[in-house]
Every structure is written in structure tokens, then in C-alpha cells.
Amino acid sequence: MNMRRTTIKDVAEVAGVGVATVSRVLSGGSASPETRERVLTVAAQLDYRPSALGRNLRQQRSGGIGLLLPDITDTFYGRLADGVLACARSAGEPVILGATGDDAEREAELIGILLEQGVDRVIAVPSGDGETWTPTLRAGLTMVFAHRLAAGRDDVPSVLADDRAGVRTAVDYLTGLGHRRIAYLGGPGQEQRLAVFRQALGELVDEELIVSARGSRDSAYAIAAGLLQRRPDLTAVLAGGNLLGEAAVLAARELDLRVPRDMSLIMFDDVPWAELCSPPLTVIAQPAQDIGYRAAELVLRAGGRRPRSVLLPTELIVRGSCAPKGISRSPR
């Protein structure tokens, strides 16, 4: 006899809506009357009983920390997770790890699972959709965002690197080398970095040199290669993450562009391979492990009070991937 418990994903599939929509309806969030009625009807038909949303969580919780990351294979997020695990281990707390793929629907599904399992605390690198986190907050869990914020969720404390200072330092360094046509390769959750990039460049900003990828290597390579082919006049690139920096290096190689003679490059994240490149990459280093450790400290020490947000410093590490403007690109 199949005794598998009905999940929030089952309700979403039968109702023909996304998991995030089911979460909003069941937590009393915004939805059209028709959608609300359909979701509630399906939930009743399937006998869906969300333990964390429909009961007294203070009595039902089993403890532990839920940790949601976009990509557990990414070196930066691996170091962040290591920081969380180190702090949780010292406190004797288990950690449940999930990978969202920077997808809001997958994120909502994992949130539902964490709620059903009765965790006490959640640390997340959010995908960007603030509404997804409404069920978690209404359930009374202690929440901390790490590395980036979710849109419209000022009510959640965070542990962040100082993106503003990092971007400004990088732009100042490139403009100081004479670069004026500077591109930005962005990805999910980088709204603040992009805003600061525009501010720092001011009148020099060229919107055609700003491109954004989804959270995958294929997407990152596609936008990097497309940009370098479409705008051979650009002289420098700021990559908003190590996945994007890797894509820029590969695309430049495929197009026979030499770094830094044909194109200067700065990348967020000082991952191990950055120093092994030829030439070694100039980077904006972020304290990934410290971000994770401090985020775990916040959720473990909250004690019913909202923790204070933490801002950690970044550092520009100058290596060999930037050079003064003035050398023309090689003929192609």
C-alpha cells in the first residue's frame, strides 16, 4: 500500500499552478479568487496537510538549519556552505542542504520541504523573488539571507559582502587605466552591483555593454561570446561572478582575443583557478566562508529577536588580466 505523503508539489501539479503560488495561497498571500479556490480545493481533495503552515510550529519543530544555495558545485557557494557547516557543527546543529538552481519555483518547492520537516532556521542565497519567502516568515522561522537579498524583503536580516565598494574600486581601477568602453556581465541577484556599476561609470555607461545571463554555464558563455562578437570596440569587462568570469575567459580564447592586450578583465570571486589562468585574473575577493559562518551565527543566536545585518569587506586583488588602454585588438 502506498502511504507516501502528499507534498506541496503534488498540489501544484494537480492545480496547474507553480509551487510558489501554492505557498502564497496556503500562507494567506496574494492570489486571484479563482486561483485561491482551485488551490484550496485540490489541497482538500489530496488531503494535503502542511504541518509547518497549518499548525503550531513552536511545538512541531524538529530543529536544525535549512541552507538553500543556487549551485553546490560552484566554488564560491561551496566555501559559503563550509562556513555554515563549521558554525553549525560547533553548535551541534544539523544542516539540510538544497540547491535551487536560481529558479524561483524550485526554491519555493524546497521551502515547502523545509517547512514540512520542521526546521527552526533557514539560511538562503535567494533567487530574487521576495514573495517566495512569505510562508517561511509567517511560519515564524528565523531567516537570514547570505551573499544577496530577495526583492522587497527588507524584513530579513542579511550577511553580505560590500558589493558597492567592490564595484566602485574595480571601475575606478579600469578607468584609471584609460578604459572607457567597459562591459558588465551580470547574473541572477546582481541588481545592486549593476546599479553601482552604472553610477560609477556615469556618462560613460553604454547600455549595450550590459548583459545578463541565467544561472548556468551555457547561458553565461552565450552572453559573453555574443557580447564580444557584437562589440569588438569594448576594451574591458567586469564579470559579476566566477561563472561569468570563466565564460569571458573561454569566449575570449575562442575568438582569439588576448587578455589583457585585447581586453582587460576583472572578476568577482577569488576562486582557485583565477590565479592559475594565463595571465592570472584580477579579482574582487569576497569572504565566502566568513559570510556563511556569520550567517549561521546570526540564526543560531537570534533568540527570538531579529538579528542585525552584517556587511563584510571586499578586496581588489590585482594580478595580470588588466592593462592600460591603448593597444589595439589583434586583427581577426
Is 269 contained in some domain?
A: yes
Is 243 contained in some domain?
A: yes
CA 10, 12, 18, 24 torsion-angle sign:
negative
Dig out the grid coordinates for 55 from the structure.
Answer: 499548525
Q: Which domain holds residue 23?
A: 1-49
Is 110 contained in some domain?
A: no
- Please, how many CA atoms are within 13 Å of residue 199, restricted to the half-sphere of its CB? 11
CATH number at residue 184: 3.40.50.2300
Our count of domains for the chain comes to 2
Kindly report the pTM of this predicted structure. Answer: 0.80
CATH number at residue 11: 1.10.260.40
CA distance 25 to 70: 25
Is 178 contained in some domain?
A: yes
Is 89 contained in some domain?
A: no
Is 172 contained in some domain?
A: yes
Dig out the grid coordinates for 278 from the structure.
Answer: 594565463
Tens digit of each residue's pLDDT, the chain (332 residues)? 345 667 777 888 888 887 777 777 776 666 788 888 888 888 888 877 655 444 434 445 557 899 999 999 999 999 999 999 999 999 999 999 999 998 888 898 898 888 888 888 999 999 877 888 888 888 888 999 999 998 888 889 999 999 999 999 999 999 999 999 999 999 988 888 999 999 999 999 999 999 999 878 899 999 999 999 999 999 999 999 999 999 999 999 999 999 999 999 999 999 999 999 999 999 999 999 999 999 999 999 876 566 789 999 999 999 999 999 875 444 43
Tally DSSP H helices, then E strands, for the chain.
14, 12
Backbone phi and psi for residue 175, each to the nearest 5 degrees, phi listed first:
-70, -30
